[in-house]
Amino acid sequence: MTVRVRIAPSPTGNLHIGTARTAVFNWLFAHHHGGKFILRIEDTDLERSRSEYTDNILAGLRWLGLNWDEGPFFQSQRLDLYKTAVQKLLAQGLAYRCYTTSEELEALREAQKARGEAPRYDNRHRHLTPEQEAAFKAEGRNFVIRFKIDDDREIVWNDLVRDKMVWRGSDLGGDMVIARASEDGIGQPLYNFVVVVDDIDMQITHIIRGEDHIANTAKQILLYEALGAEMPEFAHAPLILNMDGRKLSKRDGVTSISDFQKMGFTAEALVNYMTLLGWSPPDATKEIFTLEAAAKEFSFERVNKAGAKFDWAKLDWLNSQYIHNMPVDKLTDLLIPYWQEAGYQVDGRRERPWLEQLVALIGPSMTRLVDAVEMSKMFFSETVEFSDEGSKQLQQEGSSAVLSGVIAALENQPQLSETAAQDMIKQVVKEQNVKKGLVMRSLRAALTGDVHGPDLIQSWLLLNHLGLDKPRLNQAINS
Ligand code: GLU
């Protein structure tokens, strides 16, 4: 058997972290078994589906490296297939037309509520005679197609994550609507039905999705049986929770993959982190891995039943590891858009070798890509902003004299090198008989505006290349 799995996002929003994590598990499972990973866009909800969301979903999956083998297939282009399947169930007497009006359904729900019962359809139109149907039609009533669900049916499956699952037909809310009506007969088919028709048609062998779909699985199993199809395996992955243990939601701020991207997470770190949301590698000490490496070890035996807490600190740590281990040229490529977004000029005097030198300097202290904006601000602006500590440093006794000494020494150094910079500092220490610390701190304050920051000599070289060091030293003396 060739493993065939799918991710089936609805384009009613941007690619959500939960959907992306489900895609990760599907991808890993497919690759572990040398199977196929299929992409299906579930756009039957015409009112809420938008093509920009589809674009966002495809771009997000590609960015994460979750390349698919078949698709994208669009449900909106497959309506004929669903209608044929509805016809089949109608012809077999497994589905029927229900003419209950929304007012009648509302009254039914109210009565159930008053009795303290859970809302459910009471299957009242299951056995209409042709005369009754004709009368309803004559009244101008609309219909929906309902699929029969027997209350006393036991539905059992062996979930790959949650083991034995048992549901009763009576838990499923009565006969389920599988399609609405339209002028010419069968209209819009509904989610649970089209999913099954597609999964059968696409020969999906394993349905891997979030735990929030468990009740759907119980219904869908009945549809598989009715359509005479072979039953796939089911695996329900745990939900992603926030640190308070509640389902991660919009209220937690960021939930879509494009937001994580904007915040400066790398695709590799994010996909690595998502893999750990519910799955643990056999060697728990090895938490940094590529998708390919994880796929070799992936199995549902190591997927937890309990919800997976989303841990920002852990994601940040992973991201920093990827950034710190990234070749400078790749990191430079990734940072350029963030600088551009911030309005920094990344051309002209700041040519590629200069940019790479800057990246080599700040990269090791970065956690998120976006950190580069703040960390490199002083290299992209003509003037420097002084922090309180920076200003204080420049008012220290001897500070101005030290800086004047550096300016004088710089006169003989049109092109600064690392050794020349070191020598100049030594020279000023000797000439003025001051501590090296004073020279270093004053230089840093004058050049960068602050008393902390990346390596001073490297920062100086970068500013020197732009011709910004002398003006800043002069500015500092005169301030
Ligand atoms: N379209 C569904 C969703 O986005 C997924 C359906 C499924 O995986 O069966 O939640």
Q: With helix as H, strand as E and coil as C, how does 339-401 read?
A: HHHCCCCCCCCCCHHHHHHHHHHHHHHCCCCCHHHHHCHHHHCCCCCCCHHHHHHHHCCCHHH
Residue 30 beta carbon below 6 angstroms from any ligand 1 atom: no
Taking residues 283-312, report their average pLDDT. Answer: 96
| Greatest pairwise CA separation for the chain in angstroms | 112
> At 412, is the pLDDT very low, low, confident or very high (cuts 50, 70, 90)?
confident
Tokens of 107: 């009254």
Choice among 184-193, 227-236, 238-247, 380-389 with the minimum mean pLDDT: 184-193
Q: Comparing C-alpha atoms, which of 419, 426, 423, 424 is closest to residue 470?
A: 424
Q: Evaluate: CB of 209 within 6 angstroms of ligand 1.
A: yes
For residues 15 and 30, give the distance between their C-alpha atoms in angstroms, rounded to a whole number.
20
> 152: which residues sit within 8 A by CB, 6+ positions away?
168, 169, 170
Percent composition of the chain: helix, strand, coil (DSSP 3-state, to 5): 50, 15, 35
Please indicate whether residue 10, judged by its CB atom, sits closer than 6 Å to ligand 1. Answer: yes
What are residue 65's phi and psi, to 5 degrees? 85, 15
Please state the domain extents for the chain.
1-72+238-325, 81-191, 326-379, 388-478
pLDDT bucket at 337, cuts 50 / 70 / 90: very high
Ligand 1 pocket mutation, candidates 16, 42, 45, criterion most atoms within 8 A of CB: 42
CA–CA gap between residue 291 and residue 15 (Å, rounded)? 19
Quote the Cα angle for 225-89-209, to 5°.
45
How confident is the model at residue 30, as a pLDDT?
98
Q: Which CATH architecture has domain 81-191?
A: Alpha-Beta Complex (3.90)
Q: 211 phi and psi, to 5 degrees?
A: -60, -25
Give the mean pLDDT of 378-384.
94
Calculate Rg over the CA atoms of the chain: 32
Nearest ligand 1 atom to alpha carbon 216: 9
Query: Sign of dihedral through CA atoms 289, 292, 297, 303?
Result: positive
Using the mean position of ligand 1's atoms as its centre, give its distance from the Cα of residue 172 in Å: 18
Residues 6 or more apart whose Cβ sits within 8 Å of residue 406: 424, 425, 428, 439, 443, 473
Write the pLDDT tens digit of every residue in 246-286: 888 877 877 899 999 999 999 999 999 999 999 999 999 99
Res. 415 pLDDT band, cuts 50 70 90? confident
CA distance 360 to 332: 9
Question: In the chain, pLDDT over 90 holds for what percent of residues?
Answer: 92
* Cα distance between the two ends of the chain: 77
Instruction: Look at residue 289 and tell me whether its pLDDT is greater than 80.
Output: yes
| Residue matched to tokens 């009368």 | 135
Give me the numbers of helices (H) and strands (E) for the chain, helices first please.
21, 13
The answer to whether 75 and 198 have CB atoms below 8 angstroms apart is yes
Averaged pLDDT of the chain: 96
Gap between the Cα atoms of 37 and 15, Å rounded = 17
- Spatial distance between the Cα atoms of 108 and 123, rounded to a whole number of angstroms: 11
Give residue-wise pLDDT tens across range 89-117. Answer: 999 999 999 999 999 999 999 999 999 99
DSSP 170: G
- Residue of 195, 206, 208, 255 to test ligand 1 pocket, by largest number of atoms within 8 Å of CB: 195
Residue 175: closest CA among 79, 99, 91, 76: 99
- 232: Cβ below 6 Å to ligand 1? no
Nearest to 273 by CA among 256, 259, 287: 287
Cβ 28 vs Cβ 275: under 8 Å: yes
For the beta carbon of residue 46, count every other beta carbon within 10 angstroms.
8
Q: Do domains 326-379 and 388-478 have the same CATH topology?
A: no
Nearest atom in ligand 1 to 191's CA: 1
pTM for the structure as a whole: 0.93
C-beta of 5 in contact with ligand 1 (< 6 A) = no
d(CA 185, CA 191): 18
Q: For ligand 1, is residue 41 a contact (CB within 6 Å)?
A: no
Is 198's C-beta closer than 6 angstroms to any atom of ligand 1?
no
**Is residue 182 predicted with pLDDT exceeding 80?**
no
The verdict on the CB of residue 205 being under 6 Å from ligand 1 is no
From the candidates 250, 296, 430, 435, give the one annotated as an active-site residue: 250
Mean per-residue pLDDT for 352-364? 98
Residue 414 has pLDDT above 90, yes or no: no
42 lines ligand 1 (CB under 6 A): yes
Q: What is the pLDDT of residue 187?
A: 83
pLDDT > 70? residue 352: yes
Atom 3, ligand 1: residue with shortest CA distance: 9
Q: Alpha-carbon distance 274 to 64, whole Å?
A: 10
Ligand 1 atom closest to residue 7's alpha carbon, by position in its atom list: 8
Q: H or E element: which one contains 144?
A: strand 144-147
Residue 335 one-letter amino acid: L
> Is 11 close to ligand 1, i.e. is its CB under 6 Å away?
no
User: Looking at ligand 1, which residue's alpha carbon is closest to its atom 4?
Assistant: 9
25 CA to middle of ligand 1, Å? 14
CA 257 to chain centre: 3
Helices 191-201, 79-91: crossing angle, 10 deg rounding: 100
- As a whole number of angstroms, the distance between CA 108 and CA 86 comes to 26
What is the pLDDT confidence band of residue 385, given thresholds at 50, 70 and 90? Answer: very high
Burial class (CB in 10 A: 0-12, 13-18, 19+), 454: buried
218-243 pLDDT, tens per residue? 999 999 999 999 999 999 999 999 98
pLDDT band at 29 (very low <50, low <70, confident <90, very high): very high
CATH of 388-478 among 1.10.1060.10, 3.40.50.300, 1.10.10.350, 3.40.190.10 = 1.10.10.350
pLDDT band at 48 (very low <50, low <70, confident <90, very high): very high
Q: Is 250 a catalytic residue?
A: yes
Q: Which atom of ligand 1 is nearest to the CA of 42?
A: 1
Ligand 1: residue of 7, 74, 209 to mutate (most ligand atoms within 8 A of CB) is 209
* Residue 193 pLDDT level (bands cut at 50, 70, 90): very high
The alpha helices in 67-151, defined as continuous H runs, are 79-91, 102-114, 130-138
Ligand 1 atom 7, closest CA: 8
CA of 9 to the centre of ligand 1 (A): 5
The CATH code that applies to domain 326-379 is 1.10.8.70
Place of tokens 């012809």: 91
Q: How many CB atoms lie within 10 A of CB 260?
A: 26
Cα 185 to Cα 20, 83, 87, 147, 360, distances in angstroms? 37, 9, 10, 16, 66
Ligand 1 in reach of 302 Cβ (< 6 A): no
pLDDT of residue 184: 66
Q: What pLDDT shows up at residue 446?
A: 98
**pLDDT (0 to 100) of residue 191:** 94
Q: Has domain 1-72+238-325 been given CATH number 3.20.20.150?
A: no
| pLDDT at residue 183 in the model | 67
The secondary structure of residue 279, as a DSSP letter, is B
Pairing of strands 95-98, 144-147: antiparallel
